[in-house]
């Protein structure tokens, strides 16, 4: 059945061009759908993501390379009554894609083209494209970029639909702030499967579908095949003027503070300095909009372990950038008795940066490539929160208590506190599905282990820490003067479990706040049979 587009949508998709070649026909033959059954040697690689906790055993994995093939895969599953999930980059922290109920996995990793689409006058990004593929194509061919994430292998399908942020977000906003249109395979109430496009300029239910993909999360409304990105209000047809340009060069600095020299006073001083600095320097017009820092509060593992601070600063936009950076580093470490050292303890998604305790100036793309990371061999559990202010003393004390204590054998853990605010906070809370638009910090709680037998230990550790930090609000970051809920791209099934969330807030309100109701409206319109679902998918009611 041919791809159909309802009234009000754009024309049906045309054959995709090769990456970067606007309007050019592909020079290679497009394969049909490739089915990978359990007997295929590729199968074990295709039924798990980067979090090794989640492994599925579907009847088959279907590799697709075009929107038409994606539509066919969905239609086949609907006709056969099969439970289907979709993988783009494989970075989902929970078992939303790979679980025991899934019967068909549609893998979009080969749908990874990034190109300027003259018909849409916007940049097309297929759902399987990775962050690094997006950065490389946009920048090297057109000199533009998006303020997306730093982990190189994250797929666009989930990253963009969940909001997307990264080291340029204080300067440029969120990734979804540039979403012009989205193409989605949907299932109607009568079982009809069709591909629709919804854009910022759409009206009615189509506008709701576009809006739902500006932070509503993946796996909720349909199978996303591609996005089109363009700066709102951009005019003309010059591709180099349709998205923002990154700074041509950035300063990078990476220091560590060894745990063996750390005491409670130093720890509390550091975290208080961090919060107060961001509360004072996160306005949209701040001269520090070009600065993004990552405070990596690694758990104390004894000799050789440390707390890390990675900083990227736009080196060209502000004439006093180097002085601003130096002042920032001085303020963050003021009153801390430990002498900063070169970073040697990586932890999390960013590689160690030996020698960067002396600030270095690098071309932006080289720095972006250098900072990208990710480890696909770990088991992990994650949690998140937003902070509108500096962390209060009782939260910092809880962090100290859990991070400074002797750590369980075989567990690596940290709390990473990222810079936020500035341009992010210039958008209204209901203009996109991302409601957190007045925070200055974003926190990610992370626990890792390599031995699956350590799972109970890892889960207990991170759950106890999170519960202690948010003890005053039922064990979760209920929006108030300081907290502002959670980030859907760091999903956490514990938010829906009364054993871990004793507040009156549901997981939906913690992710979406007042926007949850409109997301339900979009769900009822575009996925009325709840075909696309997972443990925390948008409900119909």
Walking along the chain (541 residues) 10 residues at a time, the average pLDDT comes out as 34 36 47 97 96 97 98 98 97 96 97 98 98 97 97 95 97 98 98 98 98 97 98 97 98 94 97 98 97 96 90 96 97 94 59 75 93 78 98 98 94 97 98 98 97 97 98 98 98 98 98 98 98 98 94
Give residue 9's pLDDT: 36
Of how many residues is the chain composed?
541
How many domains would you assign to the chain? 2
> 298 and 178 share a domain?
no
Give residue 5's pLDDT: 37
Q: Within a domain: residue 2?
A: no
Q: Within a domain: residue 27?
A: no
Q: Within a domain: residue 422?
A: yes
Q: Within a domain: residue 523?
A: no
> 261 and 210 share a domain?
no
> 163 and 276 share a domain?
no
Give residue 2's pLDDT: 33
Exposure of 128 in the CB half-sphere (CA atoms within 13 A): 16
> 106 and 76 share a domain?
yes
Cα separation, 190 vs 487, in Å, equals: 34
Q: Do residues 88 and 132 make contact, with C-beta atoms less than 8 angstroms apart?
A: no
Give residue 304's pLDDT: 84
Q: Within a domain: residue 531?
A: no
Neighbours of 422 (CB within 10 A): 25
Give residue 343's pLDDT: 73
485 closest CA partner among 455, 453, 516, 510: 510
CATH code of 141's domain: 3.30.465.10
Cα separation, 503 vs 475, in Å, equals: 7
Torsion (CA) 23, 28, 33, 35 in degrees, nearest 10: -140
Q: Can you point out the beta strands (E) in 347-403?
A: 360-363, 379-387
Q: Which residue has the tokens 């009234």?
A: 7
Six token digits for residue 456: 């109970």
> 272 and 348 share a domain?
yes
pTM here is 0.93
Determine the structural domain holding residue 411 and report its residue range.
249-513
> 155 and 200 share a domain?
yes
Provide the 3-class DSSP secondary structure of residue 414: strand
> 99 and 151 share a domain?
yes
DSSP conformational letter for 173: -
Give residue 345's pLDDT: 53
From 246, 278, 312, give the residue that closes a domain: 246
Q: Which residue has the tokens 């996109």?
A: 432
Give residue 378's pLDDT: 87
36 closest CA partner among 87, 1, 96, 78: 87
Residue 480 to residues 94, 315, 389, 485, 513, Cα–Cα distance (Å): 27, 36, 10, 9, 12
Which helix (H) or strand (E) element contains residue 105? strand 104-107
> 316 and 218 share a domain?
no
> 236 and 351 share a domain?
no
Give residue 16's pLDDT: 40
Q: Within a domain: residue 77?
A: yes
Q: Within a domain: residue 37?
A: yes
Cα 243 to chain centroid distance, Å, stands at 20
For the chain, the straight-line distance linking the first and the last C-alpha, in angstroms and rounded, comes to 32
> 202 and 272 share a domain?
no
> 144 and 267 share a domain?
no
Neighbours of 242 (CB within 10 A): 21
β-pairing, 104-107 vs 60-63, is parallel
From 246, 269, 289, give the residue that closes a domain: 246
CATH code of 327's domain: 3.40.462.20
Q: Within a domain: residue 67?
A: yes
> 275 and 302 share a domain?
yes
432 closest CA partner among 173, 89, 185, 116: 173
């Amino acid at each position: 059945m041919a791809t159909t587009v309802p009234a009000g949508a754009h024309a049906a998709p045309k054959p995709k061009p090769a990456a970067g070649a606007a309007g050019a026909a592909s020079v290679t033959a497009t394969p049909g759908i490739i089915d990978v059954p359990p007997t295929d040697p590729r199968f074990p690689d295709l039924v798990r993501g980067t979090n090794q906790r989640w492994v599925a055993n579907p009847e088959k994995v279907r590799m697709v390379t075009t929107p038409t093939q994606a539509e066919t895969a969905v239609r086949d599953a609907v006709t056969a009554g099969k439970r289907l999930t979709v993988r783009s980059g494989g970075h989902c922290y929970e078992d939303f894609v790979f679980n025991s109920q899934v019967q068909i996995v549609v893998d979009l990793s080969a749908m990874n083209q990034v190109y300027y689409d003259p018909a849409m006058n916007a940049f097309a990004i297929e759902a399987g494209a990775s962050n690094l593929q997006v950065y490389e194509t946009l920048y090297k061919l057109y000199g533009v970029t998006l303020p997306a994430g730093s982990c190189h292998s994250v797929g666009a399908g989930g990253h963009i639909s969940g909001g997307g942020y990264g080291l340029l977000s204080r300067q440029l906003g969120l990734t979804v702030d540039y979403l012009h249109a989205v193409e989605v395979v949907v299932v109607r109430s009568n079982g009809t499967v069709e591909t629709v496009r919804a854009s910022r300029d759409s009206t009615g239910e189509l506008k709701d579908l576009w809006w739902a993909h500006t932070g509503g999360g993946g796996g909720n409304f349909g199978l996303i095949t591609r996005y089109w990105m363009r700066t709102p209000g951009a005019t003309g047809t010059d591709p180099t003027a349709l998205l923002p340009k990154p700074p041509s060069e950035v300063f990078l600095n990476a220091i560590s503070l060894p745990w063996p020299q750390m005491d409670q006073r130093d720890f509390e001083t550091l975290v208080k300095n961090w919060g107060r600095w961001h509360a004072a320097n996160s306005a949209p017009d701040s001269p520090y909009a070009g600065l993004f820092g990552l405070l990596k509060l690694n758990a104390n593992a004894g000799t050789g372990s440390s707390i890390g601070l990675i900083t990227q600063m736009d080196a060209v936009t502000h004439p006093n950038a180097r002085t601003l950076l130096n002042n920032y580093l001085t303020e963050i470490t003021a009153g801390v008795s430990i002498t900063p050292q070169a970073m040697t303890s990586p932890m999390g998604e960013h590689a160690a940066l030996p020698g960067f305790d002396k600030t270095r100036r690098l071309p932006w793309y080289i720095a972006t490539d250098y900072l990208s990371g990710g480890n696909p061999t770990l088991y992990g559990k994650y949690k998140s929160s937003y902070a509108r202010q500096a962390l209060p003393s009782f939260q910092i004390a809880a962090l100290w208590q859990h991070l400074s204590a002797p750590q369980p054998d075989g567990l690596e853990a940290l709390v990473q506190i990222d810079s936020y605010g500035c341009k992010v906070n210039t958008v209204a809370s209901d203009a996109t599905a991302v409601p957190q638009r007045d925070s200055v910090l974003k926190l990610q709680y992370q626990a890792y282990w390599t031995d699956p037998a350590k799972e109970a230990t890892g889960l207990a550790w991170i759950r106890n820490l999170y519960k202690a930090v948010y003890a005053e609000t039922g064990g979760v970051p209920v929006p108030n003067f300081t907290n502002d809920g959670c980030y859907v791209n760091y999903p956490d099934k514990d938010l829906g479990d009364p054993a871990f969330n004793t507040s009156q807030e549901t997981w939906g309100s913690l992710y979406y706040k007042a926007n949850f109701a409109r997301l339900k409206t979009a769900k009822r319109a575009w996925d009325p049979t709840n075909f696309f679902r997972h443990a925390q998918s948008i409900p119909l009611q």
